[in-house]
Amino acid sequence: MQSKGMGRVLHLGCEKRAFGGIERRVQTACSCRQRGRRYIERMNTPPTSTSAFRSRSVERVVRGQPTSDGAGVKLTRVLTQPLQKRLDPFLMLDAFGSEAAADYIGGFPDHPHRGFETVTIMQEGRMRHRDSVGNVGLLGPGSVQWMTAGRGIIHSEMPEQEAGLMAGFQLWVNLAASDKMQPPAYRDIAPADVPRFVTPDGATVRVIAGHSQGVAGAVTRPTTEPIVLDLTLPSGASFDAELPPGHNAFAYVSAGAVEFGDASAPTRVDAERMAVLGNEAGAAGVRLVAPAGLAAPARVLLVAGRPLGEPIAQYGPFVMNTTSELQQAVSDFQRGVLAA
Ligand code: CO
């Protein structure tokens, strides 16, 4: 997705080139057998007492802003620019979900990015991705694409369906100043390659990035060390997600409702709301409980990352540290060398 601010952008042509980015750097997910063994060990282990677990609390509940992007795709911008400092290193979270083809059929034609990473998480529907590095991929239900734009990439994200439900997320993760100009890279992750486990009381945890309860996610990234968990909690299920103390964290409830925080003072967050989680000293992470009586399991995207603490300068699809770096990005794009 491209974010507003660039006006109409032009396709600058594709160039195939070798890339040595994320695919070589990320830690590969553990094998199915190891995952299976971990799962069995977990299921055989009596639930440990959670009374000692101190949870972060909900600092603020945010309702997203309806907007459109690309060629008229309707979406909800949940993490907006005013929250970029508070939720550093995360720059944006868009939630999209519609059964009306008119809301998504235009897709996201060719547009550039520089200076950060985009993470596309599909829940329903199909999107075709193509980029200036020569990558082509089809995202289907449950699949994830992790793209490091680095110094520059031009790509398109177009629906590969003319009817039916299209739903999912796009998350933008900032890169440190020293990493912004690295070569672009990307990885398509099939649903079966996203490690998952089920807790004794029925919470399903898909570990897209980082670690959860000893399970390594599909993606591990340096510096920002993001944790991205896709959670499904049936009524009555709870889950304690450990989070590093310094990480900023938020959770988006896409279906049902969830109570966040210690049992003594939980905060209920309904569907289509984001909870900004506090950074309380001494909290081990966040406790989630799906309240009784939900018609369907709660769905939650839980995201945490180590803040970069650097200046953020954004112009549409370019996110750098200074205005002059943004001017350079625009100039490089106009001269056709952004993705060269
Ligand atoms: Co994009």
Q: What is the pLDDT of residue 51?
A: 61
Q: How many CB atoms sit inside 10 A of residue 240's CB?
A: 19
C-alpha to C-alpha distances, 83 to 108, 186, 264, 276, nearest whole angstrom: 24, 26, 28, 10
For residue 125, being part of any structural domain is answered with yes
For residue 322, being part of any structural domain is answered with no
Q: What is the pLDDT of residue 340?
A: 81
Q: What is the pLDDT of residue 11?
A: 27
Expressed in angstroms and rounded, the spacing between residue 94 Cα and the centre of ligand 1 is 12
C-alpha to C-alpha distances, 168 to 21, 34, 157, 216, 252, nearest whole angstrom: 25, 29, 13, 22, 12
Phi, psi of 169 (to 5 degrees): -140, 155
Same domain, yes or no, for 76 and 185?
yes
Same domain, yes or no, for 184 and 279?
no
For residue 293, being part of any structural domain is answered with yes
Spatial CA neighbour of 197 closest among 213, 209, 210: 213
For residue 88, being part of any structural domain is answered with yes
Expressed in angstroms and rounded, the spacing between residue 296 Cα and the centre of ligand 1 is 32
For residue 7, being part of any structural domain is answered with no
Expressed in angstroms and rounded, the spacing between residue 171 Cα and the centre of ligand 1 is 10
What's the CA gap between 48 and 55, in Å, rounded? 16
Expressed in angstroms and rounded, the spacing between residue 290 Cα and the centre of ligand 1 is 33
Domain-terminating residue out of 141, 169, 193: 193
Spatial CA neighbour of 114 closest among 176, 181, 22: 181
Q: What is the pLDDT of residues 9-68, one digit of tens each?
A: 322 222 222 233 332 222 233 333 344 344 333 444 444 444 689 999 999 999 989 999
Expressed in angstroms and rounded, the spacing between residue 101 Cα and the centre of ligand 1 is 20
Expressed in angstroms and rounded, the spacing between residue 141 Cα and the centre of ligand 1 is 19
Expressed in angstroms and rounded, the spacing between residue 179 Cα and the centre of ligand 1 is 19
Pairing status of strand 185-189 against strand 215-216: unpaired
Spatial CA neighbour of 155 closest among 178, 188, 181, 177: 188
Expressed in angstroms and rounded, the spacing between residue 327 Cα and the centre of ligand 1 is 19
Q: What is the pLDDT of residue 289?
A: 98
Q: What is the pLDDT of residues 77-89, one digit of tens each?
A: 999 999 999 999 9
Q: Residue 325 gets which letter from DSSP?
A: H
Same domain, yes or no, for 85 and 202?
no
Expressed in angstroms and rounded, the spacing between residue 62 Cα and the centre of ligand 1 is 24
Expressed in angstroms and rounded, the spacing between residue 186 Cα and the centre of ligand 1 is 12
For residue 43, being part of any structural domain is answered with yes
Expressed in angstroms and rounded, the spacing between residue 168 Cα and the centre of ligand 1 is 14
Q: What is the pLDDT of residues 290-331, one digit of tens each?
A: 999 999 999 999 999 999 999 999 999 999 999 999 999 999
Expressed in angstroms and rounded, the spacing between residue 170 Cα and the centre of ligand 1 is 9
Residue linked to tokens 């063994």: 37
Q: What is the pLDDT of residues 246-264, one digit of tens each?
A: 999 999 999 999 999 999 9
Same domain, yes or no, for 107 and 178?
yes
- 126 near 92, Cβ under 8 Å? no
Same domain, yes or no, for 206 and 159?
no
Same domain, yes or no, for 92 and 43?
no
Same domain, yes or no, for 58 and 75?
no
Expressed in angstroms and rounded, the spacing between residue 157 Cα and the centre of ligand 1 is 7
Same domain, yes or no, for 177 and 203?
no
Same domain, yes or no, for 125 and 179?
yes
Q: What is the pLDDT of residues 184-238, one digit of tens each?
A: 999 999 999 999 999 998 999 999 999 999 999 999 999 999 999 999 999 999 9
Q: What is the pLDDT of residues 87-129, one digit of tens each?
A: 999 999 999 999 999 999 999 999 999 999 999 999 999 999 9
Q: What is the pLDDT of residue 2?
A: 58
The edge-to-edge listing of strands for the beta sheet with 144-148 is 65-69, 73-79, 90-98, 166-174, 116-124, 144-148, 185-189
**Number of domains the chain contains:** 2
Same domain, yes or no, for 202 and 56?
yes
For residue 39, being part of any structural domain is answered with yes
Same domain, yes or no, for 258 and 210?
yes
Domain with residue 184: its CATH number is: 2.60.120.10
Domain range enclosing 224: 29-63+194-307
Domain-terminating residue out of 158, 178, 193: 193
Spatial CA neighbour of 301 closest among 156, 90, 140, 115: 90
- 151 near 182, Cβ under 8 Å? yes
Domain-terminating residue out of 135, 160, 193: 193
Average pLDDT, the chain: 87
Q: What is the pLDDT of residue 285?
A: 98
